[in-house]
Amino acid sequence: MRTAKIHSTAIVDPAAQIGSSVQIGPFSVIGAQVVIGNKTIVQSHVVIEGEVQIGHGNFIGYGAIIGAPPQDVSFSPERKTKVEIGNDNIIREYCTIHRGTAEGSSTKIGDKNFLMAGAHIGHNCGIGNNVIIANNCLLAGYVQVDDGAFLGGGSTFHQFMHIGRLVMVQGSSAFGKDLPPFVIAAERNCVFGVNVVGLRRAGFSAKDREEIKAAFKLVYLSGLNISQALEKAAATMKFDGPAREFLNFIANAKKRGICRFKRGGNAGMSI
């Protein structure tokens, strides 16, 4: 087993748990409650503090800050909260990932995600797997991002939002309402259609893609309100699989509601 490679200028608390073949670069600071899994690379000037659990095979870029207290005026420093990060994630330069705010709560990041430079993950966010968060995205507290979503650079997301699976967000957009799975979204609280290219790349069958399109049209283009569309889907249409996932998401989006449909938009946005 290879021991960790820790630069002489790094400050690593003796109580921290550092796995084998971990690399910690110059001037990084690792706190006492930190756990770092095998083969993780921590570049220079990184700060990891508080209770932070990091899995194996992660890459953490220059100047990232993980586990800092949440930006919540009600937070008390004595609260026990944490950050949990899975395996094989890429966290690039100057990302900030804050720990939870309520007692015993966590900010969670799954596996194989790519956080580009300057992304901010607020307290109690939940990031699934295979998510791409581009440069300078800002996620407020309690934002949930499901598997395979792509968040374009410079976009902002209101607290308590839910972003569904395989959503594609155009850069420099802003959202305060939920984004159902499989949609393309842009501008301010707008969806433009189904992420057909993303569905193909993810291996969705032609049948599943057509059912998602039909469900999308029922919700957004039929002239019915949300309740009426869901009632019609339950009464007259047999949706299952991903189309049912789309409808169930909408049925459960009660706190913030869902983003509205806007006609037109960029190439590649299709219904």
- Predicted local confidence at residue 241, as pLDDT: 96
Contact criterion met (CB below 8 Å) for 262 and 187: yes
| Residue 74, pLDDT score | 96
Does residue 198 sit within a domain?
Answer: no
The reply to whether 138 and 44 lie within a common domain is yes
Task: From 136, 160, 184, give the residue that closes a domain.
Answer: 160
pLDDT for res 268: 46
Tell me the residue range of the domain where 247 lies.
205-261
In the chain, the number of structural domains is: 2
Based on the domain organization, do 25 and 123 belong to the same domain?
A: yes
Q: For 52, list phi and psi in degrees, rounded to 5.
A: -130, 125
Q: Which residues, given as ranges, of the chain have pLDDT below 50?
A: 267-269
Q: Mark whether 148 and 244 lie in a shared domain.
A: no
Could you tell me if residue 256 is inside a domain? yes
- CB-based contact 165:183 (threshold 8 Å): no
Cα angle value 150/173/47 (rounded, 5°) = 65
Give the pLDDT confidence score for residue 81 in this predicted structure: 98
Residue 202 is predicted with a pLDDT of: 97
Give the helix ranges, DSSP H, for the chain. 196-201, 206-220, 226-236, 241-252
| pLDDT attached to residue 267 | 39
Residue 171 lies in a domain: no
